[in-house]
Amino acid sequence: MIRFLKKYRAVVYGFVILFIIIQGLTFVDFVRIDPQETLVNVLGFLFWGMVVSVIIHAMLFHQKEVVFYWMIGSWVLSLIGFMLGRYFEYKMVSLSCLFLFFITSCYIVWSWYMQRYRKRKAFVFLKERKLFLIKLVVLSIVFIVMFWVDDYMKVPDNPITFALLTLFWLGVFNILAPKFFQKYKVLILALYGSLLILFFSFVLFFGSRTHEENLDLFFVFLFPIPLFALLWVYDQWKWFQNLKADKAKAELALLKQQVNPHFFFNTLNNLYGLAKRKSDQTPDLILKLSEIMRYVIYKGKENEVKLEEEIEYLENYIEIQEIRQHKKVDIQFIKRIEKDDVMIPPLLFIILLENAFKHGVDSLMYDAFVHIKLEVANGKILFEVVNNYDTSVLNETKGIGIENLKKRLEIVYGNSYTLDFKKEEDMYSAQLTITF
């Protein structure tokens, strides 16, 4: 039992302290309890008891620190000050102490959260953000002065109080959404400045207005809120779209980095084989490879290239393959281009062509063929590669090149493409169709 009470002592303390607070608030006539509303009283007591228990639990978390005594002192003194101000009818004292009690309670819970879950002390956090702390202090002063002015002047619908109230909520807005406030500060200040001038004009020149009429004018200040809400939603949508675009660019850059080494690795292997045999074709292969490298390095980083540039790149690759093959390979590249000014992402077709040689031609001793077809017509690009292969050595798994190609197509074209693979006996075909 003792262990249980020690573990949940904050709950026990919370309900005991709440009971004492209720007695004090009842004594100063701030709270009135209807004895006939038993259910409402019990539910209210349970709810506020848990709220106070959370504050006590957060406070006890700091009991080994010096700030613990400051928390207790500020919390208790502000509560007693509110009751005394209420009892002796010092409205400003009671309101100021109530505000201090609310701020202290929020700070206690927030400090517990920061230290318990974020592993940072709240005081150190605030010291690092002096501007934020200064804003809070200024807002607190404006809030207290607003009530003091209203109580001291005793003017119904006091325009000065109303101006301070507007300034207070603009300050709250600035703290909650600083970037949004800075971006639209001219619009916000101009709009609410105009509304304040309008309010002052009506109060000064139409002094006979009733409180209800002034209240109607007050609701005019609520009209800009939907406008700013829509602006905020638009900003969030725009930020999200930019984030997706940046993410897509980063993914494309990464996929390109993965494609380029994949191709160069295979080509350098080919070059090594020719150099080892001291072939006369080695210089031609090096020249073609330099042209390909120039295209990959300079054009590969661009978002789009001309279709004819990509075709020239493919033809250079085919010539490299023809040089390195010491067997006759039937290579055909059929092109039917009806539209010349088509732009496509660089290095888009090379994976399909490279796989045809890697898994097809290289697996056969004779009668190997690679038939390539590229058509651009009716708003579509069709790229098809058909090759034969040795069925005994076919690798069914698709490498990183195909997976990267699919990801790039998905990012750039979304649902405007199809990529199909077919296998019939000893023939394999890959067909890419893009709608532009």
Is the residue at 236 inside a domain? no
Domain endpoint, select from 194, 227, 260:
227
The torsion angles phi and psi of 129, rounded to 5 degrees, stand at: -125, 70
Tokens coding 108: 């206690």
pLDDT of residue 181: 85
Torsion of CA 207, 209, 211, 215, to 10 degrees: -110
Domain endpoint, select from 203, 227, 251:
227
> Are residues 193 and 286 located together in one domain of the fold?
no
Is the residue at 285 inside a domain? yes
Low-confidence ranges of the chain (pLDDT < 50): 258-259
Separation CA 312–CA 310 (nearest Å): 5
pLDDT of residue 215: 61
pLDDT of residue 366: 82
Is this prediction's pTM over 0.85? no
Separation CA 31–CA 41 (nearest Å): 12
pLDDT of residue 156: 65
368-377 vs 329-337, strand pairing mode: parallel
Separation CA 342–CA 379 (nearest Å): 10
> Are residues 268 and 188 located together in one domain of the fold?
no
The CATH number linked to 289 is 3.30.565.10
Is the residue at 381 inside a domain? yes
> Are residues 43 and 89 located together in one domain of the fold?
yes
Report the SS3 class of residue 419: strand
Is the residue at 234 inside a domain? no
pLDDT of residue 224: 79
Separation CA 384–CA 405 (nearest Å): 15
> Are residues 392 and 259 located together in one domain of the fold?
yes
Is the residue at 200 inside a domain? yes
pLDDT of residue 212: 62
> Are residues 344 and 195 located together in one domain of the fold?
no
380-388 vs 368-377, strand pairing mode: antiparallel
pLDDT of residue 284: 77
> Are residues 165 and 264 located together in one domain of the fold?
no
Is the residue at 233 inside a domain? no
Q: Are 140 and 103 in contact (CB under 8 A)?
A: yes
> Are residues 84 and 203 located together in one domain of the fold?
yes
Separation CA 51–CA 58 (nearest Å): 11
What residue type is assigned to position 369 of the chain? F
Report the SS3 class of residue 387: strand
> Are residues 82 and 184 located together in one domain of the fold?
yes
> Are residues 283 and 387 located together in one domain of the fold?
yes
Burial of 2 (0-12, 13-18, 19+ CB in 10 A): exposed
Count CB atoms within 10 A of the CB of residue 265.
9
pLDDT of residue 432: 95
Tokens coding 40: 């409402």
Contact residues for 431 (Cβ-Cβ < 8 A; gap 6+): 382, 383, 384, 385, 418, 419, 420, 421, 422
Count CB atoms within 10 A of the CB of residue 145.
15
Task: Please measure the distance between the N-terminal and C-terminal CA atoms of the chain and give it in whole angstroms.
Answer: 75
427-435 vs 343-344, strand pairing mode: unpaired
Is the residue at 235 inside a domain? no
> Are residues 203 and 312 located together in one domain of the fold?
no
> Are residues 257 and 219 located together in one domain of the fold?
no
> Are residues 139 and 14 located together in one domain of the fold?
yes
Domain endpoint, select from 227, 255, 274:
227
Range of the domain at 153: 2-227
Is the residue at 99 inside a domain? yes
The domain total for the chain is 2
Separation CA 38–CA 45 (nearest Å): 10
